[in-house]
């Protein structure tokens, strides 16, 4: 055994609570004390937006466990409203402030686990402390927002930041009949995705009543004349609103770690190894407060998600109690629902690969876009899923995937997430056997399709081009859709030769010039590419077809 008799845990939500519960399952002998400065442990932070939106109507639904349950079920001494204010590493003690009595006391430890989470970013803007400006991290935060909405009869809200909390809150405020504006500094919402993939949701968000101001920075807040808050933008525009939510992301809470001299990583999180060990042999750290190694790129990264926090808490308990568990790295597998759309991603994005390349790292990649139906097209309510698969052109290893659509989006991303974790290739996706019945999928599932499209490019069967390439190329562009589709809107300078006429009109095409082909989503153009390829033409299929082209166009129109 490890000789650990006393384990203290700082933070009682995702990482801390799972660490405590796992430790008890591994040992009936150690004493476990968990300190939480807030009034609740083990609450559902991920459910908070839905409590604000009244989808979850009772606050008590957010509490997954109480201190009493921890005591009875796990024999863990949970002390809420007790803040750890100091770590004395020389004496292996922590100092705690009992926030109810305002008294300080100390507790010794053999093992200390830090899971203090992260703090919402609040930029030093003028007026940031005005009433009516909120962040969302805790149950009391969500209660304050609910009360403000009712008391002030809120009609309009402005959300600063279009990440997943911003989007989930937009949906939930709209559900309460509030008009929402999202102001986002970047050219896109959902920064985990590449911008052209995020663009697939803009029309939908707008049609649900959300105004989107991309490429806009908030510069300050003023008290509005009729009691509202006047939000000032960099463009000199002002928007008057009844409430503001700051959803600008989070920063790891490293207060205690820094104060006690633990090593802090380059990204600003607590440094830990793959066994969640900090630079002190008696201290472990988990969750949003730590930096983790990216599974795909090996870079250190900060990705604040509940799944990794839970797994890390479990691993820390294992290691403390003598097991050789290791964290495999973080993939950033995430999903966000926005009205009835779903956005999900796993692994590395293209923009991240490009950023890494600027540091001199050589990370080769290729990508494909596709738009398969979520289930068999003949079964009612089939909807397309926009997918992007990023992979190594050298051996087909999958590097990342993104998907946007309605039903079945997260299922596909979860499968690919597992494939990434197994270091699988696009050839494995081609072959994977997945469950099928018409209401759930297709005999060739979107995941198989993604693998096939990617594998076809790697084998040279269907070379691809990307829409970014057309500007710098003198290839001729052929649109193989039907004439009525072509009339409805085509890419500039494209020539229409419908797929059904291609074989008859093949002599119209030049043999000495490159040919780019597109259709609506890339499937008919794939067939056309094969015809021309087998006839000796220099041909490439424009990946994702016009649907992907339109997503890129949307980006351009947003940045104008």
Binding site for ligand FAD (CB under 6 A): 10-11, 13-16, 35-38, 45-46, 48-49, 83-84, 115-117, 136-137, 165, 253, 256, 287-289, 304-307, 309
Instruction: Give 344's DSSP letter.
Output: E
Query: In angstroms, rounded to a whole number, what is the distance separating the alpha carbons of residues 117 and 290?
Result: 8
* 276 versus 426: smaller Cβ distance to ligand FAD: 276
Minimal distance, residue 6 CB to ligand FAD, in Å: 17
- Residue 289: closest CA among 277, 279, 302, 308: 302
CA–CA dist 369, 386 (Å, integer): 7
Q: Is 339 left (phi over 0), alpha (psi -120 to 50) or beta?
A: left
Catalytic residue among 19, 213, 336, 519: 519
Asked if residue 262 lies in contact with residue 271, where contact means CB atoms within 8 angstroms, the answer is yes
Nearer to ligand FAD, 160 or 289 (CB): 289
Interatomic CA distance for residues 185 and 227, integer angstroms? 26
Q: Is 196 strand, coil or helix?
A: helix
Q: In the complex with ligand FAD, which residue's Cβ is closer, 19 or 370?
A: 19
Token pair recorded at residue 40: 């609740």
DSSP bridge partners of 117: none
- Contact criterion met (CB below 8 Å) for 166 and 121: no
Q: In which element (H, E) is residue 458 found?
A: helix 446-458
Count helices and strands (H / E) in the chain: 16, 30
Q: Which two tokens stand for residue 48?
A: 């908070």
Tell me whether residue 260 or residue 548 sits nearer to ligand FAD (CB atom). Answer: 260
452-486 burial: b if 16+ Cβ within 10 Å, else e: bbbbbbbeeebebbbbeebeeeebebbbbbbeebb
In the complex, least distance from residue 169 CB atom to ligand FAD, rounded to whole angstroms: 8
Nearest position to ligand FAD, beta carbon: 287
* Least Å from the CB of residue 246 to ligand FAD: 12
Q: Count of CB atoms within 10 A of residue 402's CB?
A: 29
Nearer CB in complex with ligand FAD: 116/396:
116
Ramachandran class of 66: left when φ > 0, alpha when ψ lies in -120 to 50, beta otherwise? beta
C-beta of 270 vs 368, nearer to ligand FAD: 270
DSSP 8-state class, residue 152: T
In whole angstroms, give the CA distance from residue 360 to residue 412. Answer: 32
Q: Whose Cβ is closer to ligand FAD: residue 13's or residue 190's? A: 13
Which phi-psi region, left, alpha or beta, contains residue 300 (left: φ > 0; alpha: ψ -120 to 50)? Answer: beta
**Residue 46 among the catalytic residues:** no
Active site residues: 519
């Amino acid at each position: 055994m490890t000789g650990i008799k006393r384990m203290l845990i700082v933070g009682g939500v995702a990482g801390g609570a799972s660490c405590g519960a796992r430790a008890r399952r591994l040992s009936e002998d150690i004493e476990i004390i968990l300190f939480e400065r807030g009034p609740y442990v083990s609450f559902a932070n991920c459910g908070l937006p839905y409590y604000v939106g009244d989808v979850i109507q009772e606050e008590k639904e957010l509490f997954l466990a109480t201190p009493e349950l921890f005591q009875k079920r796990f024999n863990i001494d949970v002390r809420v409203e007790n803040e750890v204010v100091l770590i004395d590493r020389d004496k292996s003690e922590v100092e705690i402030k009992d926030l109810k009595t305002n008294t300080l006391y100390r507790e010794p430890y053999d093992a200390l686990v830090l899971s203090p989470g992260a703090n919402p970013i609040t930029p030093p803007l003028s007026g940031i402390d005005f009433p009516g400006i909120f962040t969302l991290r805790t149950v009391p935060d969500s209660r304050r927002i609910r009360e403000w909405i009712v008391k002030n009869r809120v009609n309009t809200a402005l959300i600063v930041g279009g990440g997943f909390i911003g989007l989930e809150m937009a949906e939930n405020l709209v559900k309460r009949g509030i008009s929402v504006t999202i102001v986002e500094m970047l050219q896109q919402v959902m920064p985990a995705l590449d911008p052209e993939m995020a663009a697939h949701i803009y029309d939908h968000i707008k049609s649900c009543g959300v105004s989107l101001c991309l490429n806009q920075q908030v510069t300050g807040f003023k008290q509005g004349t009729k009691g509202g808050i006047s939000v000032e933008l960099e463009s000199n525009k002002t928007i008057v609103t009844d409430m503001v939510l700051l959803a600008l992301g989070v920063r790891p809470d490293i207060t205690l770690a820094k104060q006690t001299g633990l090593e802090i990583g380059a990204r600003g999180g607590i440094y830990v190894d793959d066994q969640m060990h900090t630079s002190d042999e008696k201290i472990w750290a988990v969750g949003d407060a730590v930096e983790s190694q990216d599974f795909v790129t090996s870079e250190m990264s900060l990705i604040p998600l509940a799944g990794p926090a839970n797994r890390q808490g479990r691993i820390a308990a294992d290691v403390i109690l003598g097991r050789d568990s290791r964290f495999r790295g973080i993939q950033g597998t995430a999903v966000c629902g926005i009205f009835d759309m779903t956005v999900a991603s796993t692994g590395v994005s293209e923009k991240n690969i490009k950023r890494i390349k600027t540091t001199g790292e050589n990370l080769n990649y290729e990508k494909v876009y596709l738009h398969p139906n979520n289930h068999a097209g003949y079964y009612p309510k089939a909807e397309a899923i926009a997918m992007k698969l990023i992979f190594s052109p050298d051996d087909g290893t999958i590097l990342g995937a993104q998907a946007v659509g309605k039903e079945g989006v997260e299922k596909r991303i979860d499968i690919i997430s597992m494939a990434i974790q197994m270091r699988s290739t696009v050839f494995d996706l081609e072959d994977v056997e997945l469950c099928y019945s018409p209401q759930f999928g297709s005999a060739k599932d979107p995941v198989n399709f993604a693998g096939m499209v990617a594998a076809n490019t790697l084998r040279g069967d269907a070379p691809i081009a990307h829409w970014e390439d057309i500007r710098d190329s003198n290839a001729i562009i052929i649109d193989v859709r039907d004439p009525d589709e072509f009339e409805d809107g085509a890419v500039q300078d494209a020539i229409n030769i419908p797929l059904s006429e291609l074989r008859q009109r093949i002599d119209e095409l030049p043999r000495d010039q490159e040919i780019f082909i597109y259709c609506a989503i890339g499937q008919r153009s794939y067939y056309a590419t094969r015809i021309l390829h087998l006839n000796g033409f220099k041909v490439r299929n424009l990946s994702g077809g016009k649907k992907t082209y339109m997503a890129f166009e949307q980006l351009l129109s947003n940045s104008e």
